[in-house]
A and B are shown apart, each in its own frame.
Chain A
Amino acid sequence: MSKVLILAEHNGTKINQSTAKVLTAAKQLKADTIDVVLFGNDSGLATQVAALAGVNAVKYVQCNDNHDQLAASIAPTIADLGKDYSHIFGPSTTFGKDVMPRVAALLEVNQLSDVMEIIDANTFKRPIYAGNAIITVKTDTPQIVATVRTASFAADKSTDGSASVTESTLSTAAEHTTFVELSTGNSDRPDLQTASKVISGGRGVGSEENFQIVYDLADKIGAATGASRAAVDAGYVPNDMQVGQTGKIIAPDLYMCFGISGAIQHLTGIKDAGTIVAINKDGDAPIFEVADVGLVGDLFKIIPEMMEKL
């Protein structure tokens, strides 16, 4: 008899695909009811969620502006609504990771972080030690609060749902926290977290200027771009491109990386990729242990050759 409440994520105008992935996970609980709570100031967002098949009701909580979606502001409302549910699920994105533990604390339960597999309504699998071990965990608290590892579940692509929408106004906005700004590394390329193809570069690319050839190749095949932490730290690329344990965990059909050695923290982010292609000039680089296709060579020769032949 599971009743699930999902926390929706959006960027102000569009529902993030993480919501549809959490929905896929929720459906695996064989729940009686799946409802979604959404905080925002555009009712069009509620319409987008209501179209997802399997959603029963959308609880649209109107905020003055999107920045009222701060964790401290919305957690009390989610926890309050959540008392009527057996499961409260959020995405394991930076948004979900920020707010869901607050919800769990208010409900006096530990959170299940990064659920990767649902065994039954009380039993789940999740990774620990950067994915080097998988644990099966069990909990039977009246409310189970979890973040869902989005790379482990396919997005629910349905659009023929007809959930009801109820509207209320946020009453728990925090006074002690204010939003100042969001700076995004805006690009026209596909979104790294949802792209079917990703091309990424590491320290081996050598500089911000050199990254241009990585971008060119990505554009040629319509891929999103990613990077290792070393490339971000060195200032070659913005932080939102980082893939790995502390960056984005992704599961594209194709992941092709250049000049990345394959540290475990990086591999954590890509092990659900369909096909991993590695290009590195060092034949002993650990990335070749996980690559489906490996090519030893200089990326500055290989990328131009690929550009010519594609």
Chain B
Amino acid sequence: MKILVAIKRVVDYNVRVQVKPDGSGVATDGVKMSINPFDEIAIEEALRIKEQGKAEEVVVVTIGSNDSQQQLRTAMAMGADRAILVETDTAVQPLQAAQVLLKVIEQEQPGLVITGKQAIDDDNNQTPQMLATLWNRPQATFASKVEFVEGNKISVTREVDAGLETIQVELPAVVSTDLRLNEPRFVKLPDIMKAKRKPLEVKAIADLVPAPKGQAIEVLKHEAPQPRQKGVMVETVDELLEILKDKGLVS
């Protein structure tokens, strides 16, 4: 079985992004870029499945600018076997990303597709669900545990508001990862060297999906969130309780 992992290059999660003064976007010049943290977990899960002997090949794919090659190389340094860059200079929205990923699936025929649950730039949380829909295959979103069961099925534990839900889905399927699925490995220097020799194929987005369906949502402006009013520091529990009592929050 082949596993396809979809990753996205995003502003590193440790960076506190700033809205540009003219509201045209967020400042990304010179900002550290990384693999979306959920996607790193997706890569790790695919590698673990391969290491258990349940998959032969792990292929990573991203849709993005040429700079995304860095993130694909990092994924191969972690252990992915090869990479595909679907190159585009403009940002793609989830419905388009899903159509492109579907094309890659048609070419690669994976038995399992693993994605992150959301990209932490746009926080959309849509692409995997849309991909599963267009592919007409099951989805298991927000996964915190993936196990192979009899036949051609996986059992997936999902982090839901009420607790943990377990479902079984037939393969092929799309799994989207939550944070507690695993802890991604660190890449070692020799692996970075080795990854340079692994195959990285570049395709033009227009060759894969020349006329994507659906209309993009237009972004009119960016603004910084409303700051909260400055608070007060107190020295004692008595002072704290007095404030809370005044506000009617405790009695």
Contacts and interface: CB of A to CB of B under 8 A. Distances in A.
A128 B122 contact: yes
A152 B164 CA distance: 25
B237 A97 contact: no
Interface string B118-137: 10111111110110111001
B144 interface: yes
Contacts of A170: none
Contacts, number: 240
Between B133, B178, B216, B233, the greatest number of chain A beta carbons within 10 A of the residue's beta carbon is seen for: B133
B144 to A, nearest CB: 7
A176 B138 contact: yes
A275 B228 CA distance: 10
A291 B139 CA distance: 39
Contacts of A81: none
Interface stretch (B59-67, B188-196, B242-250): B242-250
A127 B168 contact: no
Interface stretch (B49-57, B77-85, B217-225): B217-225
Contacts of B13: 265
Interface in A233-283: 233, 238-240, 245-246, 248, 253-254, 264-265, 271, 275-277
Contacts of B132: 72, 102
Interface size class of A (residues with CB under 8 A): 35 or more
Interface size class of B (residues with CB under 8 A): 35 or more
A101 B129 contact: yes
A221 B153 CA distance: 47
19 contacts: A71-B129, A101-B94, A108-B214, A110-B93, A114-B123, A132-B17, A134-B224, A135-B219, A176-B170, A181-B165, A182-B163, A232-B180, A239-B164, A239-B180, A246-B179, A295-B237, A306-B237, A306-B241, A310-B250
Interface of B: 11, 13, 16-19, 26, 93-95, 98, 117-118, 120-127, 129-130, 132-134, 137-142, 144, 155, 158-170, 173, 178-180, 213-225, 228-229, 231-238, 240-241, 243-244, 247, 249-250
Interface of A: 11, 70-72, 75, 93-95, 97-102, 104-106, 108-114, 123, 127-139, 141, 174, 176-185, 193, 197, 221, 229, 232-233, 238-240, 245-246, 248, 253-254, 264-265, 271, 275-277, 288, 290-296, 302, 305-306, 309-310
